[in-house]
A and B are shown apart, each in its own frame.
Chain A
Amino acid sequence: MTLTRRRSESAPVNATRPSSALRSIRDAFANPKYGPIIVTALLLVGMFAYGMSQYRGFSNPQIVVNLLIDNAHLVVLAVGMTFVILTAGIDLSVGAVLALATMMAASLAQSGAPAGVVIPLILVSTTVLGLLVGVMVHYFDIQPFIATLAAMFLARGLCYVISAKSISIDAPFFTVLGQTRLRFLGLSVTPSVIVAVAIVIVALVVLRYTRFGRTVYAIGGSEASSRLMGLPVARTKVIVYAISGFCSGLAGVLYTFYTLSGYALTAVGTELDAIAAVVIGGTLLTGGYGSVLGSVLGVLVLGTIQTLITFDGSLTSWWTKIFIGALLLIFIVLQKILTLRRG
């Protein structure tokens, strides 16, 4: 970035027209709204190009769909997390709430409750949990980090209250949905992917075209200004945490289709994956800038790392964590540079 700038400054005479094109590219990168997403998209393309050059079978479009099949729950979690981080908050409870949802689904399904009751019950209870967190954060001024930490402890504890052992699910509704493969343009897709894509589209519309969505961005920009402007800050902040709770519950339901079991220790550390996906997807941790589409790209980047490591075979799975950490670092430093330029 500094290199391009220096060049355009040192050669101002003959570079009037070409530099405007250069400048617009440079501005796109330096813009906190688009820059990180462009970088993420380039990274994804680069990773795929590398994969295709190294391994046969990587160019199969089904690989991309498989990324979504394996990470449908993470996509949904990342959508909820995007809302929270856009308001400059953070939600550490998503992994634990996901686990709680799988436990509820498994135990209720095994006791013979119909899916039409189980799934709404899960979604309502996780949304209420999120709502309570939102109330703690906004009305009692407790740092989001701590309030969601308490929710995380609570959800994990409740998992163990339900059962310390893994419960398998053989209720027909779950097994059928878990095994269904829909054909779509010659690709095989699970119902979970369709749910995840639907959630992404709804979130996109809400964030871009509704008053609520604009308030979310405004709060992330400056909460004090939003309040002075008369925006419904309290309501929006509470709802944002409720959305994250809802998404965690839904992600849990999708996860049960994937694993067909509930276990109290599932998804330890998934909150970090969700945060990493959101950050890599270009949402600023200080709030105000970012998009759901970026978070989906972030999830795809994480999934691609995993796939590349699986294809490689000689690298072991813990390298995934190190790579995710390294990427997180790179993107946070990038964010820092962008916000510095803005300031």
Chain B
Amino acid sequence: MTLLKRITSSTLFWPLAMLVALLVIDVIAFPGFFTIQIREGALYGSVIDILRNGSPTLMIAIGMTLVIATQGIDLSVGSVCAIAGAVAAAIILGSPNPDSVGTTIVAIVTAIAVSCVLGVWNGALVAVIGIQPIVATLILMTAGRGIAMLITKGQIITVSSESFGFLGSGVIFGVPFAVVAAAVTVAFAGLLTRRTALGLFIESTGINPRASRMAGIRARGLLILVYVFSALCACVAGLILTSSQTAADANNTGLFIELDAILAVVIGGTSLMGGRYSLWGTVVGALVIQTLVTTVYTVGIPPIVTMVFKAAVVAAVCLLQSPKTAEYLNAWRRRRALSTEVASS
């Protein structure tokens, strides 16, 4: 009983339970769900698809987790995706030999540099000027797609570079590059925040920014760093998305991805109030979302309807996590216990 209670009270319990439930539905609806094949040195299968298609959202969600841990939020990630893709595509399009590795490296490095600037911009608005994070990042969210359009001159740029294509469709030891990139992001974030004191600093800033400044934490720099990290994650995700679509589409690359990322973080049990976060929770959360999408596919519901399911999941998770719900439930239980006591006596 106590063991059961300890398991169910873990923050990871509900998201994991949701993931398992979805996977069970998948196996029932589609018996070959867990089959993984090797074709031409690459792994194929539904599970691999989930991992590959979910990796851009996962990467962004990891950045978002750290931002949310500081009591912030980053709405601009979708626009940063679009800008990063547009920058890389424009450079590749303008170069004399687009297939060379050198061009791709220049494109990636430039996109990363631009994203760092955007991250510093967000961070400065939040940490230096002191604007609420929702609003501060709303500015880049609105203007960012305009900037991306400016870079692509309002057109969808087709990228047919062989080396750039590796980001979206390449494999390393049979594993899609996108999955490797997501794993590296998780590992990097985990090592940085859980093996050094950085995670502690982030959490303390999230709980009480003033108190942690008094305690000698340089909250300002820390906040900027967190927003830069979020923008970097968005940049890599944007490059992967652009590469796998073989086109930079300023209007649609990463559209609504900030919502998916926030959803992943919330499902993973990280409180939007800041202060406590769980990177593993976010990983599970992102997998839940992607599995949900894939399940909706395999069951045969039009994929676009997934938004209704996502809405149901957001609402359910938020209501379950809300302390008020626990309060109402407890009050109800007490009343019921009282009434049975009265009835038995």
Contact = CB atoms under 8 A, between A and B. Distances in A.
A164 interface: yes
A326 B146 CA distance: 11
B150 interface: yes
B310 A333 contact: no
Contact of B150 (A145, A157, A318): A318
A136 B315 contact: yes
B322 interface: yes
A320 B132 CA distance: 24
Interface in B78-107: none
Contacts of A275: 138
Contacts of B149: 316, 318, 321
A100 B318 CA distance: 23
A72 B36 CA distance: 55
Contacts of A152: 259, 311
A178 to B, nearest CB: 27
B211 interface: no
* Interface range, B side: 35 or more
Given A146-B318, A268-B255, A320 B139 contact: no
Contacts of B132: 285-286
B129 interface: yes
B305 A336 contact: no
Contacts of B130: 336
Given A318-B149, A319-B146, A140 B139 contact: no
Contacts of A268: 255
A326 B125 CA distance: 13
A258 B120 CA distance: 41
B297 to A, nearest CB: 14
A79 interface: no
Nearest to B73: A145
A140 B311 contact: no
B135 A285 contact: yes
Contacts of B323: 141
A30 interface: no
A328 B138 CA distance: 9
Chain A interface SS verdict (over half): helix
A316 B154 CA distance: 9
B307 A320 contact: no
B311 A321 contact: no
Given A272-B138, A285-B135, A325 B318 contact: no
A143 B262 CA distance: 13
Q: Which of B132, B142, B154, B324 has the most CB atoms of chain A within a 10 A radius of its CB?
A: B142
A234 to B, nearest CB: 12
B131 A153 contact: no
A45 interface: no
A150 B262 CA distance: 11
Interface in A256-288: 264, 268-269, 272, 275-276, 279, 285-286
B322 A141 contact: yes
A140 B146 contact: no
B197 interface: no
Interface in A147-206: 147, 149-154, 156-158, 160-161, 164
A332 interface: yes
A322 B302 contact: no
A151 B311 contact: yes
B138 to A, nearest CB: 7
Contacts of A321: 142-143, 145-146, 149
B320 to A, nearest CB: 10
Given A157-B307, A161-B305, A276-B142, A140 B319 contact: yes
Contact of B142 (A160, A316, A328): A328
Contacts of A150: 311, 314-315, 318
A320 B143 CA distance: 9
B48 interface: no
Contact of A332 (B131, B311, B315): B131
A253 interface: no
B319 A136 contact: yes
A157 B262 contact: no
Given A146-B314, A152-B259, A325-B146, 9 more contacts: A136-B319, A139-B324, A160-B305, A272-B142, A275-B138, A320-B146, A321-B146, A332-B131, A336-B130
27 contacts: A136-B315, A139-B324, A141-B323, A145-B73, A145-B134, A146-B266, A146-B314, A150-B311, A153-B259, A154-B312, A157-B307, A157-B308, A157-B309, A157-B311, A160-B302, A285-B135, A318-B146, A321-B142, A321-B143, A321-B145, A321-B146, A321-B149, A328-B138, A328-B139, A328-B142, A328-B143, A336-B131
